[in-house]
Structure 1
Amino acid sequence: MDKQQARERQERIRNFSIIAHIDHGKSTLADRILQVTETVSDREMQDQLLDSMDLERERGITIKLNTVELKYQAKDGQEYLFHLIDTPGHVDFTYEVSRSLAACEGAILVVDAAQGVEAQTLANVYLAIDADLEIVPVINKIDLPAADPERVSLEVENMIGLDASDAVHASAKNGIGIEDILEQIVDKVPPPEGDIDNPVQALIFDSVYDSYRGVVLSVRVKEGMIEKGDKIKLMNSGKVYEVTELGVFSPKPIERDALMVGDVGYITANIKSVRDARVGDTITLANNPADKPLQGYRTMIPMVYCGMYPTDSGDYEDLREALERLQLNDSSLQFQAETSQALGFGFRCGFLGMLHMDVIQERLEREFNLDLITTAPSVIYHVQKTDGEMVEVSNPSEMPEPTEIDSIEEPRVKATVTVPNDYVGAVMEICERKRGNFVTMEYLDDLRVNVIYNLPLSEIVFDFFDRLKSMTKGYASLDYEAAGYEQSNLVKMDILIHGDSVDALSFIVHKDFSYERGRAIVDQLKEKIPRQQFEIPIQAAIGHNIVARSTVKAYRKDVTEKLYGGDVTRRQKLLKKQKEGKKRMKNVGNVEIPQEAFMAVLDLDSD
């Protein structure tokens, strides 16, 4: 292909992604586009084709971004080359969305014709607007009985400020309006910029570890051309590799000789170490390097931390390797080694949110056959000590002694809850109970309202979203962003079992709620810890003050059953002997704490 042909080909490339709230039909629309463009034969077609992880199919959500190349014969007679990048919709995976958008020039905004614009739709649209993308609005699910496309078009115009007068009315499930969407992509989304003669610049927007080929990089070529056999240089790490294979996904990998400006594809180059190929890095050629790297991504800061320990201490190295592998294509996952007196060696892991934590734990157990114990999640607190030093605490067991603490600041978030008018009271009640400060309320239309609260992050990471859904019959949608730190009256609560503090059960709580939480936890643990031959006291303590106590009663062995008649002193002697034996046992007895006991801290309702 000569340079003139390459430039003509570049004019016919369209790179776009699909953004939407969870359940608005994003993956179904991607399936239909693959069918209409005949990228996938009817025989190979299956629902959620781009969601390749078992977990994604089971939960019906997209977790990882996926890419696919399509050819489309437009009405103007030209054949266009589309690169579709599928993105997740959940607030925890915003990072994946921002990565996808950096590889695109346009985005299809899918809005449910019955539900309308939701909190997460807004968050993702603002990401697209920040990335300077052309947005194509699509009103999906027009076949639903409750669909009201006109109202939803108005919402898109009023809330987002997009012109929705020519928004495509579609039903991805029934294949209605798919051609119109593809035509709008041709007309509205600009072709990629860049020049084939410039030094190579390609953005790594995803990476997967393959045990045969090493690291497989997903790249978007912004400038120049990469060919098989080229020596490439990663600009961040400075490492040089030789390209062994490159190609595109359609949706299965198809090998090519070269990737040119505007192409979205994959590269393998015998990269063995997961740390050398960071997402957001720029690839250039070793013999003709670019002057400066492309603008990467802002690093995502974990918001929730928890401890992960293998139930068998022999699996510690396997857990480290598994976490390293997952971190390769999920750089927002962070971990460092830690030890616990109760649980042995493990890792302190950082996540973007509770769903992210759930998904990582499930992937570790499924894909790597690990059996794990996880501790209650916590957030990062800023602790100002009396000597003027400020320390960050993500693990309650690292909290300094109460006498050394001057003040504690906790992270706050600005939470936007989109909800029908009827449930505003319920939402406000939950937020107030979770120590929230009311910010404002915005009416979207006659039926729905945005309730905005400033809340402590620690209250959101437990069961806030589940409670919100159950109180609003599933209608509420939530989006949140970090809103800095604020001083608060917090204390560390220790749980003592049989007189010993169990570090893995410690947590940080607001002083006003400390008695309720302490009482609830000791009662939960009483149910979960099996009875022994001696009684086990379970105590909740703040410093040296015990705030709540519960006791697991002992089994009683009837030592007098073999007696029949005889003197009463014989009976008393046996009972006295039993009492002394129990006393001795109590001094040396170790209490086995089952996994459910650690999870009891999570199941608490802070009512």
Structure 2
Amino acid sequence: MDSDPALLRNVAIIAHVDHGKTTLVDKLMYQSGHYRQEALDKLAGGQHGLVFDSNDLERERGITIFSKNCAVEYEDLSGRRLRFNLIDTPGHADFGGEVERVLTMADGVLLVVDAFEGPMPQTRFVLQKALGLGLRPIVVINKVDRPDSRPDEVVSEVFDLLVDLGADDEALDFATVYASARQGWASEDLDNRPEDMRPLLETIVHRVPPPEVNADGPAQMLITTIDFSEFVGRIGIGRVSRGTLTNRQKVTVIDRSGTPTKQQIGQLFTFDGLDRKETQSVPAGDLCAVVGLEPINIGDTVCDLDNPEALPGVEIDVPTLHMTFRVNDGPLAGREGKFLTSRQLKERLEKELRSNVALRVETGDTMEQFRVSGRGLMHLGILIENLRREGFELCVGKPQVVMKEEDGQALEPIEQLVIDVPDDHTNAVMALLGDRRAQMLKMGRKSGATGFTHMEFSIPARSLIGLRSRVLTATAGNAIMHHTVIGFEPSRGELPDRANGVLLASEAGSITAYSLDALYDRGVFFVDPGDEVYEGQVIGENCKAGDLVVNAVKGKKLTNMRASGKDDNSQVRPARRMSLEECLEYIGEDELVEVTPSSVRIRKLLLKESDRRRESRRLAQV
């Protein structure tokens, strides 16, 4: 294809979680002729419509965590052959670091909105980022084939959202395309449903401007994404904003602190479908991958050797949550993992910092502890999950919000919380949020959903820790809740502590059904008979306030009057199994989550009861 910038379109796909943007990209790739459907399904690991979610965690959770980009070619109605660089972005606010930097590569955005749910908190988040960069949206009302879809109302809600975000007249005059990504069609008219995505592709041609670049100036490119290969090392990905980059070209790399280094490009790649194709040159406006530059990091500028000029760095929102990582020093340490030392953990966290720009890592209270800050519980939870899958063993402390000081006043992050709840559970949810310093912003009927109430609140970020599980319990699992950071405000005061205490193991050993039967009325257990526990491990939730130490490994005493064998009359409740994120939400200040490749346990910071009593007396004196 001709390298004329007029035939190039750089488009980012933005949306709330699970509104169908990744499926939409898959269909655009399929209909462009790059892949047959069988090939796409094979690339997706057998999961239809998930080819762009290449990470195991992305496929398991059904969300996009890492931004991806691909290129497709399209012949428009006038016979021109155009090239589309499509950029898929995460929809969850916790991965906003990915969204912010990849949007700098785009000239327009497809805003994908569910035809039933309408704009959601993350829709607001990603759209605000796009408008801040001057990008004009094309609104794609997806899933219009749903029986409960309400496309006309959703278009009005998108317009209201744009007005609320201060969009200019050009952004408010957005094009609207109705689509069913799953069925593979798009149309500008709901009454006319074609068999393909051509109407959407034509809208991109006419509504997304070609890149405005200086093709003749000295070369310049901002690195927005880092990839890694075992064969060639770090790979810098970005958009050439000026001039032309050529293979084997000598360049100056200016890092985020302004320090220049002279280097040479080893290889240049452009995107071809999901693959990369080696090329000899990349003109201004196109996306490319650069191999052979070391060191290279996100936010660095690759520029002409004789005319070094840095581009503005990527602005990243500050972290809102932090927690302490430390090596696993529990009695069962070393049985499952292969990376057990603080040196190995430090090296892995430093490696993560190279590509995860929204992450911060600092030394903790001791040299073996690390204070890790991120954008939210899911952001840090994904990191911990990746560590355990790689063979690390570690202990993680209770999540804490990152406070900000301004004019001598402590400010805390405030989030917008949106909850759709069945009408008969509204009072229970209101009571939960009232205790957590939430302020109601809006309340009304949920459009298109009979029997549901729509509520919006502003709430301290620390109040959200542990809230999801309690809301789901109070609503029998029927509530839908989303949240996103909206700013910082003065602290709203103390929050209530965890209502119930925990049950602690007094001895090490294997859990017995006989012991759980004897402790049946004490609370809910997190373990099953046969599980191995140790002293100080949290094995359940007490039915009352305060912690209770129990012996859950005691076996039945046998005499000549009793036959040895299992006791069929033992009453054992099914264990409450919590995910990693649920455990992080649950723990108290004096507790840790022990994470290993095969297990997630909750334990006390001080395992021995005598040590905990001594610490309690010391704190009381202070």
Q: In which range does the TM-score fall when normalised by the shorter chain?
A: 0.7 to 0.9
Aligned counterparts, 1:58-207, within 5 A: 58-161=60-163, 166-177=175-186, 178-207=197-226
Separation in structure 1 between the aligned mates of residue 283 and residue 96 of structure 2, nearest angstrom: 28
For residue 467 of structure 1, report the CA deviation from its aligned partner: 3.9
Query: Percent of aligned positions with the same letter in both sequences?
Result: 25
What SS is found at the alignment partner of 1:63?
coil
1:260 equivalent among 283, 302, 308: 283
**Equivalent residues in 2 for 1:426-465 (5 A)?**
426-439=428-441, 451-460=455-464, 462-465=465-468
- Superposition CA RMSD, Å: 3.8
The aligned runs of 1:73-472 (5 Å cut-off) are 73-161=75-163, 166-177=175-186, 178-236=197-255, 237-250=259-272, 251-271=274-294, 276-290=295-309, 292-298=310-316, 300-310=318-328, 311-312=333-334, 314-338=340-364, 345-366=368-389, 368-381=390-403, 409=410, 411-417=412-418, 419=420, 422=423, 425-439=427-441, 451-460=455-464, 462-468=465-471, 471=475
TM-score by length of 2: 0.72
Q: Report if the CA contact (8 A) 2:437-2:492 is conserved.
A: no
Q: Which residue matches 1:477?
A: 482
Cross-structure match for 1:12: 7
Q: Once structures 1 and 2 are overlaid, which stretch shifts more, 57-66 or 438-447?
A: 438-447
After superposition, the Cα gap between the structure-2 partners of 1:549 and 1:62, relative to the gap in structure 1 and judged at 3 Å, is: closer
Alpha-carbon deviations, 1:245-279, whole Å to 9, x = none?
111232112111111111111001242xxxx4231
> In the aligned structure 1, how far is the partner of 2:441 from the partner of 2:430?
11
- Aligned mates of 2:156, 2:245 — CA distance in 1: 45
Please list every run of 5 or more consecutive structure 1 residues that lacks an aligned counterpart in the other structure: 391-407, 490-509, 540-546, 562-591, 603-607
- Report the more deviating stretch, 474-483 or 123-132: 474-483
Compare CA radii of gyration and give the structure with the larger one: 1
Tell me the distance in 2 between the aligned counterparts of 1:538 and 1:252: 48
* Contact residue 153 and residue 164 of structure 1 kept, 8 A: no
Deviation at 1:101, TM superposition (A): 1.1
* Cα pair 1:538 1:550 within 8 Å, conserved: no
**CA shift for structure 1 position 164:** 7.6
- Residue 146 of structure 2 aligns to a residue whose secondary structure is coil
Contact map agreement 2:137 2:174 (CA 8 A) in 1: no
Q: For residues 402 and 161 of structure 2, what CA distance do their matches in structure 1 show?
A: 34
Greater fraction helix? 1
Write out per-residue CA displacement over residues 49-76 of structure 1, whole angstroms, 9 at most, x where no aligned residue.
1222111111111000011111111111
Secondary structure of the residue aligned to 2:124 is helix
* Structure 1 residue identity aligned to 2:245: I
Q: Could you tell me how far apart the structure 2 residues matched to 1:222 and 1:280 are?
A: 14
Letter of the 1:280 partner, please give it: G
Tell me the matched-pair count. 501
Residues 555 and 143 (structure 1), Cα distance of their counterparts in 2 relative to 1, 3 Å cut: closer
How far did 1:427 drift?
4.2
Aligned CA distance change for structure 1 residues 194 and 51 (closer, same or farther; 3 Å): same
Residues of 2 paired with 1:85 and 1:428: CA distance? 40
Q: TM-score scaled to structure 1, two decimals? A: 0.74
Which of the residues 31, 40, 45 maps onto 2:40?
45
- Check conservation: 1:153, 1:165, Cα contact below 8 A: no
8 Å CA contact 1:206, 1:279 repeated in 2: yes
Q: Deviations over 1:557-601 (max 9, x none)?
A: 999x9xxxxxxxxxxxxxxxxxxxxxxxxxxxxxx9987896368
SS in 2 for 1:167: strand
Matches of 2:270 and 2:504 in 1, distance apart?
A: 54
For 1:32, the equivalent position in structure 2 comes to 27
